[in-house]
Structure 1
Amino acid sequence: MQTWFITGTSSGFGRGLTERLLARGDRVAATVRRSNALDDVRQAAGDRLRVYRLDVTDVAAVDRVVSQAFADFGTIDVVMNNAGYGLFGAIEEANRDQVLRVIDTNLVGSIDVIRAALPHLRLQGGGRILQVSSAGGQTAYPGFGLYHAAKWGIEGFCEALAGEVAPFGIDVTIIEPGMTPTGFSAAKDMTVALPDYSHGAFGEGRALMASGKIVGPNDPGKIVDAIIDMVDAGRTPLRLPLGVDTYRDVHRAYVRRLQELEDSKDLAESVAAQRIETTS
């Protein structure tokens, strides 16, 4: 039996993971923004489920809830950051509140949860940190610039973190789902369109996103199973790409970036400091 701490369990991957873990006998510390979001599963789960109301943008609440979860369960094997906020729109269109909400939820909130959990994980001698990113943590699409800013940021944070905490027996994995029908896309926020961004390919993309008809090519249940299977198998990849679109789009981005790097090799090396030769 394992114990998981999961943020954002009202719906989507967080909800799916909570249900599957409880069904097989594991314990879950689940955070929600609506206190009644998991009422339908509480009775069957009994004391194997603890539900905590949490907005990850409230750092004091994050510290309190994480500490309380470790106190309630004693040991937590897996800490998973899943809570997120989606925003579609041109970067120029976003208002200040939307900018801050994207960064505070997807980047700063995730950092705060991890920082709050680290002392407990070190004290117990190890554990797993799972950070939900997306294909958009390694590639970028017009209309999601601020979301990418947060996801690229949390991936860099986690890559540095992995090297720091490995000596303590703490493993870090970044999970990169592709577009999946979890309800996240339909629940996203959208900017108020400026006329210049309402036409052409971008305008068509906005209309499609607003329609809610984009469901994605991936199965949310299979993604949940793949995450659990990875943990059960003791696999510790730094990144876990999950999605046919994730593989395609990230592979394309890697190839393009590597080619750009190779093309700039001579220029990059041309700025090396000249060694001063001395004679005796």
Structure 2
Amino acid sequence: MPEGHVIHRLARRLTEAFAGEPVAAASPQGRFSEGAALLHGRPLLAAEAHGKHLFAGFPAGWLHVHLGLYGKFAWGEPPAPAPVGQIRLRLVGEKAYCDLRGPTVCELLTPGEKDALHARLGPDPLRPDADPDRAWATVSRSRQPISALLMDQKVVSGVGNIYRAEVLFRHRIDPRKAGKDLTPREWKAIWADLVSLMADGVEAGRIDTVRPEHMPEAMGRPPRVDAHGGEVYVYRRAGLPCLVCGLAVRTESLQARNLFWCPGCQNSP
């Protein structure tokens, strides 16, 4: 599932491609025909993201998309070719077209429904209106491990498996440590690092979390090859030596997701 920086990049791209101009909208698959008819011929007013939720504002309402595990956008330059396969929504403007396939959610929301959805989501490190104290109020009372809390979109929005593994490593925090056992200083450091790392991800279009002294050039090692991110410390590095202490990176399943950490750098006292 795409992490939050990908959705913010999509909001930016929608704005660049379609803002302020009439957009042709259709649902070749047929599952969003009524919604597409309400969007057709109307301008995109604004686009934004909150965590893993994408919102595109039109006069008829807010297009809400959650890609889930299988959803994706494909982009091209007009004229758009004849539709092939299961395209839930096609948007065509003067400069670009995009096809949306396989989303978990594709719907139109009223402004009130959109506000209610925002209220159910945790603060997003990439949004200027994010309040990290709201997340801390939950984290500081919870017996759940911090690694689970960071992935709970009602606590923090936009963080996925890569960012949670990497930010905890960067601050030498055992991922199994209960939220209530974190100090306020640790939480502030985690939040500030997420803000920085995820903003870098928006700009670069990939996830890089390794500090300069641990980059391939500095260490004389080959670059990492993985479509899910750039240079990382522990994510998908189970069994490989930690870039800092040399111990083998570990993995285990936590709430049906693979957890990665270093037993040397992230050893609880």
User: As a proportion of its length, which structure holds more helix?
Assistant: 1
Give the structure, 1 or 2, with the largest relative contact order (CA under 8 Å, sep 6 or more).
1
Scaled by the length of structure 2, the TM-score of the pair is: 0.28
